[in-house]
Chains A and B, each alone.
Chain A
Amino acid sequence: MMRLPAFTYLAPPTVAEAARAVVEHGGEAMLVAGGTDLYPNMKRRQFEPKVLIGLGAIRELRGVSGRAREGLRIGPTTTLTAVARHPEIARHYGALATAAGLVSSPQLRNMGTIGGNVCVDTRCNYYNQAYEWRKAIGFCMKKDGDICLVAPSSSRCWAVSSSDTAPVLWSLGARVRLVGATGERTMPVEALYRDDGIEYLAKRPDEVLADILLPPADGWTSAYLKLRRRGSFDFPVLGVAVALRIEGAVVRDAKIVLGAVASLPRSAPAAASALVGERLTPEVITRVADLAAGPAKPLDNTDYAHFYRKKMTRVFVARALRRLGGLDGEGRAEEEVA
């Protein structure tokens, strides 16, 4: 049932060669970094590549460089453990260290990379199942079928963006550099995501995520809260990333991005702009939290009932703001819900 199908593994030494290799093998090839997402998916036959192009041997993709003052460059094959423990990231881009440190379990964080996390597949209760199971219930359009089992009248797939770091990177204003067989481009991380459970990435298969670029950190503080049933292992069923630039107790700039409530991370611009020029008083926080919950439109295709996740969006946004405003006084670390 759950066997890894046979494939050819290539380990090109450069990004350019990796991109070329994808093109050479046409639709048969996929990139792989830590494999913690792709291999389980292959076992369930959600992907059936004949050729895997491993990125692990490419030195230019590894490691963190730069200083928070000028902005950091994170190589996409840096492991989540390394990101979570990196002192410069932990100090100046706190939410990113938190989010990386909350992904699955220590073992998976040692293997899993931040690039893989940015590109991680979308999830759905009807999709993350063994092949035979999907066959029994009738394949859905995300793989092998043509209907949606969650929303049968829908012409699209609503599988859920389940990355912990993606909403945080977005809230921090990160950019990504993609290198393809025919050229490269750099764009804001949010431009990487599409509102579609199947084609969830706006990139060609041959495009390798080559750099994750964080802007200078000055004046920003950030927080990330994650909802899941257990204190370890589980994917987020709600992620709340908040980044604020506060000057003399007044919010000058704000970003709020929600994870795991749609097929892509969802920003809450109305809520964010309602913060600008305000002090983080309990009243402001309540108003902003209500506004932020608006864009959260979870469906019933992950753990936890959708109305509960929606309800919790408000609670989590308020908590993140309280924390950043120093109002919570409870000092409980990164995670509210275990």
Chain B
Amino acid sequence: MRSKPTRASSTDVADAVGLERDLRLVGQRVIRHDARDKVTAATAFAADWAMPGMLHGVVLRSLYPSARIKNIDATRAASMPGVAAIMTAKDVPRNTLWTDVPGQTTAVGSLRAKLHVLAEDRVRHQGEPVALVAAETEEQAREAAEAIAVEYELLPGVFDPAQALEPGAPRVHEEGNLLAHWRVCHGDVAAAFARAAVVIEGDYRTQFVDAAYLEPESGVAWIDSDGVITIRVSTQVIEHFRDVAEVLNVPQNRVRIIGTYLGGGFGGKEDVTVEVYLGLLAWKTGRPVKMVWSRQESLLARAKRHPFRLRYRTGALRTGQIVAQEIELLADAGGYAYLSALVLLYATVTAAGPYRVPAVSVDARVAYTNNVPTSAMRGFGAMQVVFGYESQMERVARALGLSPVEMRKINALSRGDTLPVGQVVDTHVALPELAERAWAALGELTPPRAPHVKIGRGLACNFQPYGRIVWLHDWSSAWVGFEMDGSLVVRSGVPDVGGGQASSLCQIAAEVLGVPLEQVSVYIADSALTPLAGTTTASRQLYMSGNAVLKASRELCEQLLKAAAAVLGVDRDAVGLADSAVRTADGRSLPLPELLHACSRMGVPRSHLGVYHAPAGEPVDLEKGAGKVFPDYTYGAHAAEVEVDTETGVVKVLKLVAVHDVGRAINPLSVEGQIQGGAVQGLGYALMEDVVVEKGINMTTSFASYLIPSAVDVPDVRAIVVESGEGLGPFGARGIGEPPIGPPAAAVANAIEDATGARLSVLPLTSERLARALGLM
């Protein structure tokens, strides 16, 4: 089951602090309990749940991207067979949700963004929820939903963020179309450009993409015997019980969310999905209700990754040193705010890349349009900008005749440097080593298999924040306790999105408390029964809840060892926990169950609740460059080798090496899984994924037209795990959920230029675009 660790330990990370070496479980390639359950189909996903008397709920969605709802007539639908409830906006106790768009630095000022549970008098994007139906069967519910007559009056719409910001553009919301505007001004940019020997300008565009998780949005809700509205749902955020309570206008302690193991989240299950609708229908009918969104609905209407227009102007000295970056970002929020303002903030903070740049200006805006809404997705704004800054790095290097690795080495951040927003980098940055290793691991250059084929290589680095913005005062909690027989229980409200979140917590607790992994049971993601742990987003869960479990376990260990010392009549320092027993320095041992019985006789608790508070800070004025925004960052470097068919423009990625400094790999198998999965998702972004939206109409609502890579379209990604021990998580870990998706697009674009001399600046990097760039048509 457990093989020897074969990961690359980074003894070459120069000023890394010492890694704790004598660990028993942490760092082992442990096969996760949930992996076994998933491949044997034992996992009960949200849609697998069924209850007696259960209804099926469906959402009726807007046909049009911009229209007024003149009338909704549900009389015929209500009388159809099997129909138990039909709800429209007027049936929702609180239909309008307001969210604060955080601390704007400029024009927009503080803004409260509005979201309707169900559309009221108008719809702002195709697929916007308009009505709900619950019926005895899903077919009946769908038929009834179709029979609801919605009378629309089409309104002019706006489908491009630049047009949305022009005077006179149709207003998506009354307040105007500019949703958020962030600026960074750092150093004297004009003077820096005056010093530059080369100035490179680039105009890049990225596309809408979908999370495309295996498991669409789904859940079951019921009113439990205690009257609590209980929702078992696939979500990254069990704290949405508060949103459900707000919508239903009931106290927050009357709603309970049970999170399931997810078939993928990628940010798409960070906002509320089915849970509010389920809550409404269960509350209205008093019966259990299931709702599973179809793939079509999910592709049609679920929030996507923001398309960005990225304009870069980069100045460098002849030595390769970047002296100035002038950056303009414009993103498309679609019809509603969701998390757009924060996504833009991440983009703004990271726009200049993991480099030491003395003068930076960033001007970033995100605008409402009548396109499908955009929100969180793996990488969260720090991802689109990688395509911009790493394309620029490559072009500067080419202009100066520097190798890709040299270019990164010259400019890489290091401890003590200050980011453009004023944050001082206070952990180790292994970027030069990462770049070197990624590049070297490509090995021998693949010889071209035919005269019309060219081979090229590209490098791209990135940095991605992990943990939430420091002024959000993030915290997590976990409970760790022994049963009388010495088996261990971990409880923490962590949603496991498939990254092995639950399993890593077990490893940490078992490590500290000296029990085999098999003796740990873990309960996660229940807002009523597990201590709240916050969202599984922002690459924060191992960092935050790992620390909470670590803290709880260490304190529990201390508690038990004090008791053991008393029982055995020795000093506290003379006892330790190992192999399910207390061991003394003089070779005696006391089996754990005996100690636990002794504890209960002595009134010593056998459990502990640990609460971890992340280092907090005050809100930062980005423009003034005032200080810390994120707790820390994860750094990475990807190297790609591509084959370009110069007659067709077809690009095949032959090799991809992905290297990340994860601080410490709690379970290298999970880490490699995250790196490979993220890199493949990043290759999909690079080469083919594209939600095509034409005048607000989504053209790609099935997997026949929304193309994600299949097994034959990607190479075996070589994941190299570097451990500097410099992270803020348990045992020095950093977050690795999001980072690996960032670099592939730029690495492939850079490799294409290396092979052909053609620079592509629009994603995805399709063969048509390359054929055009190569002058084939």
Q: Is A120 in contact with chain B by the CB < 8 A criterion?
A: no
B106 sits at the interface (CB 8 A): no
Q: Among residues 703 to 746 in chain B, which have CB atoms less than 8 Å away from a CB atom of chain A?
A: 704-705, 707, 709-713
**B139 contacts the other chain (CB 8 A):** yes
CB distance from B337 to the nearest CB of A (A): 24
CB-based contact B768/A125 at 8 Å: no
- Given A230-B707, A332-B450, A336-B648, are A307 and B712 neighbors across the interface (CB < 8 Å)? no
Contacting B at CB under 8 A, from A275-299, are none
Contacts A3-B138, A133-B300, A136-B126 hold; do A128 and B704 have CB atoms under 8 A apart? yes
Smallest CB gap from B297: residue in A: A1
**Within the assembled complex, what's the spacing in Å between the Cα atoms of A332 and B453?**
12
Please, what's the 1-or-0 string for B762-777, where 1 marks a CB less than 8 Å from any CB in chain A?
0000111001000011
In this assembly, does B63 line the interface, its C-beta being within 8 Å of a C-beta of chain A? yes
B697 in the interface, Cβ–Cβ < 8 Å?
yes
Q: A336 — which chain B residues lie within 8 A by C-beta?
A: 645, 648, 650
A111-152: which residues lie under 8 A (CB-CB) from chain B?
125, 128-130, 132-133, 135-137
* Docked complex Cα distance between A2 and B767 (Å): 32
Contact partner of B688 (CB less than 8 A), chosen from A230, A232, A305, A330, is A230
Chain A residues near B61 (CB-CB < 8 A): 132
Does A315 reach chain B (CB closer than 8 Å)? yes
Answer yes or no: B296 CB below 8 A from chain A CBs. yes
Q: Which of B248-294 contact A (CB under 8 A)?
A: 294
Q: Which residue of A lies closest to B63 (CB)?
A: A136
Q: Is B194 an interface residue (CB 8 A)?
A: no
- Interface: A304 (CB within 8 A): yes
Highest count of chain B CB atoms <10 Å: which of A303, A304, A312, A328 = A312
Tell whether, in the assembled complex, residue B650 and residue A307 are in contact, meaning their CB atoms are under 8 Å apart. Answer: no
A3:B139 contact, CB within 8 angstroms: yes
User: A233-B710, A337-B767 are contacts. A308–B296 as well, Cβ < 8 Å?
Assistant: no
Check B647 for interface membership: any CB of A closer than 8 A: yes
Interface hits, B103-151 → A, CB 8 Å: 126, 138-139, 142, 146
Q: Is the CB of B713 within 8 A of A125?
A: no
CB neighbours (8 Å) of A234 from chain B are 704, 707
Residues in chain B near residue A231, CB distance under 8 A:
710, 712-713
Closest to A132 in B: B63
Residues of A within 8 A of B336 (CB): none
Are B712 and A230 in contact, with the CB atoms below 8 A?
A: yes
Q: Are A229 and B768 in contact (CB under 8 A)?
A: no
A233 to B704 CA separation, bound complex (whole angstroms): 8
Report the separation of the CA atoms of residues A136 and B63 in the bound assembly, to the nearest whole angstrom: 5
Which residue of chain A lies nearest to B703 when distances are taken between CB atoms in the complex?
A: A233
Is B713 a contact of A338 with CB atoms below 8 Å?
yes
CB nearest to A307 among chain B residues: B777
Given contacts A231-B710, A308-B768, contact A137 B138 (CB under 8 A): no
Tell me, in angstroms, the Cα distance from A129 to B294 when the chains sit together.
Answer: 14
In the bound complex, residues from chain B placing their C-beta under 8 Å from that of A235 are 704
Bound together, the chains give a CA A307 to CA B772 distance in angstroms of 11
Q: Chain A contacts of B580 at CB under 8 A?
A: none
List which B685-711 residues lie within 8 A (CB) of chain A.
688, 697-699, 701-702, 704-705, 707, 709-711
C-alpha spacing A2/B295, complex, angstroms: 9
Q: Which of A2, A328, A329 contacts B294 (CB 8 A)?
A: A2
Question: How many chain B residues touch A (Cβ–Cβ < 8 Å)?
Answer: 40
- Expressed in whole angstroms, the minimum distance between the Cβ of A102 and any Cβ of chain B is 12
Residues on the A chain within 8 Å of B63, using CB: 132, 135-136
A1 touches B713 (CB 8 A): no
Q: Which of B142, B449, B710 contacts A230 (CB 8 A)?
A: B710
Chain B residues lying within 8 Å of A303, measured Cβ to Cβ, are 705, 707
- Chain A residues near B705: list those with CB within 8 A: 125, 128, 303
A311 at interface (Cβ–Cβ under 8 A)?
Answer: yes
- A125, A308, A330: residue with the most chain B Cβ atoms closer than 10 Å: A308
Q: Is B759 an interface residue (CB 8 A)?
A: no
Bound: A329/B451 CA distance, A: 10
Q: Which residues of the other chain, B, contact A128 by a CB distance below 8 angstroms?
A: 702, 704-705
Whose C-beta in chain A lies nearest to the C-beta of B708?
Answer: A230
> B768, A130: Cβ atoms under 8 Å?
no
Q: Identify A133's interface contact among B138, B450, B650, B701, CB under 8 A.
A: B701
Residues of chain A lying within 8 A (CB to CB) of residue B450: 328-330, 332
- The complex places the Cα of A2 from the Cα of B63 at a distance, in Å, of 16
List residues of chain B with CB within 8 A of the CB of A132: 61, 63, 146
Find chain A residues with CB under 8 A from B126 CB: 136
Complex interface: chain A residues within 8 A of B777 (CB): 307-308, 311
Q: Tell me whether B296 and A1 are in contact (CB under 8 A).
A: yes
CB distance from A164 to the nearest CB of B (A): 15
B554 interface residue per 8 A CB criterion: no
A130 touches B64 (CB 8 A): no
Nearest-CB residue, chain A, relative to B695:
A137
Instruction: Say whether B195 faces chain A, with CB atoms less than 8 Å apart.
Output: no
Could you tell me the distance in whole angstroms from the C-beta of A271 to the nearest C-beta in chain B? 18
Residues of A within 8 A of B138 (CB): 3
Known interface pairs A136-B64, A230-B710, A308-B777. Does A338 touch B767 (Cβ–Cβ under 8 Å)?
Answer: no
**A230 CA to B713 CA, complexed, in Å:** 6
Q: How many angstroms from the CA of A233 to the CA of B146 in the assembled complex?
A: 31
A227-271 CB contacts (< 8 Å) to partner B: 229-235
CB-defined contacts of B711 to chain A, threshold 8 Å:
232
- In the complex, which residues of chain A have a beta carbon less than 8 angstroms from the beta carbon of B318? none
Q: Which residues of A contact B707 (CB under 8 A)?
A: 229-230, 234, 303
Report chain A residues within 8 Å CB of B142.
1, 3
Structural contact, A305 and B768, CB atoms closer than 8 A: yes
Residue of A whose beta carbon sits closest to that of B688: A229
Interface residues of B in 295-350 (CB under 8 A from A): 295-297, 300
User: B597: CB under 8 A from chain A?
Assistant: no
Q: Does B771 contact A136, Cβ atoms closer than 8 Å?
A: no
**A232 to chain B: which residues have CB within 8 Å?**
710-713
Residues of A within 8 A of B171 (CB): none
Q: B7 on the interface (CB 8 Å rule)?
A: no
* Whole-angstrom distance between the Cβ of A14 and the nearest chain B Cβ: 34
Q: Kindly state the separation between the CA atoms of A330 and B295 in the bound complex, as whole angstroms.
A: 41
Give the CA-CA distance A137 to B701 in the complex, in Å. 13
Do the beta carbons of A311 and B771 come within 8 Å of each other?
Answer: yes
Among A3, A229, A232, A303, residue most surrounded by chain B Cβ atoms (within 10 Å): A229
1/0 per residue, CB under 8 A from B, across A50-68: the answer is: 0000000000000000000
Q: Which chain A residue lies CB-closest to B146? A: A132
Which residues from chain B contact A1 at a C-beta distance below 8 Å?
Answer: 142, 294, 296-297
B652 contacts chain A at the CB level, 8 A cutoff: yes
Chain B residue, CB-CB nearest to A309: B768
CB A101 to nearest CB in B, in angstroms, measures 13
Q: How far is the CB of A167 from chain B (nearest CB, A)?
A: 19
Asked, given contacts A132-B61, A234-B707, A330-B449, whether A338 binds B650 with beta carbons under 8 Å apart, the answer is yes
Interface string of A314-338 (1 = CB under 8 A from B): 0100000000000011101000111
Do B771 and A308 touch across chains, with their CB atoms under 8 A apart? yes
Give the Cβ gap from A182 to chain B, nearest Cβ, in Å: 38
CB-defined contacts of B709 to chain A, threshold 8 Å: 230
Q: What's the nearest-Cβ distance from chain B to residue A183, in Å?
A: 38
Contact A338:B688 (CB < 8 A) given known A132-B63, A230-B712: no
Binary interface profile of A, 64-99, with partner B (CB < 8 Å = 1, else 0)? 000000000000000000000000000000000000
- Give the Cβ gap from B25 to chain A, nearest Cβ, in Å: 40
Question: Which residues does chain A contribute within 8 Å of B295, judged by CB atoms?
Answer: 2
User: Could you list 14 further interchain pairs (A-B, Cβ under 8 angstroms) beyond the known A1-B296, A132-B61, A311-B776?
Assistant: A3-B142, A128-B704, A133-B300, A136-B697, A229-B707, A229-B766, A232-B712, A233-B704, A233-B710, A308-B767, A311-B777, A330-B449, A330-B450, A336-B645
- Return 16 A-B CB contacts under 8 Å, by A number: A1-B296, A2-B294, A3-B138, A128-B705, A135-B63, A137-B697, A231-B712, A232-B711, A303-B707, A308-B768, A311-B771, A315-B647, A328-B450, A330-B450, A337-B645, A337-B648
- Footprint of A on B, CB under 8 Å? 61, 63-64, 126, 138-139, 142, 146, 294-297, 300, 449-450, 645, 647-648, 650, 652, 688, 697-699, 701-702, 704-705, 707, 709-713, 766-768, 771, 776-777
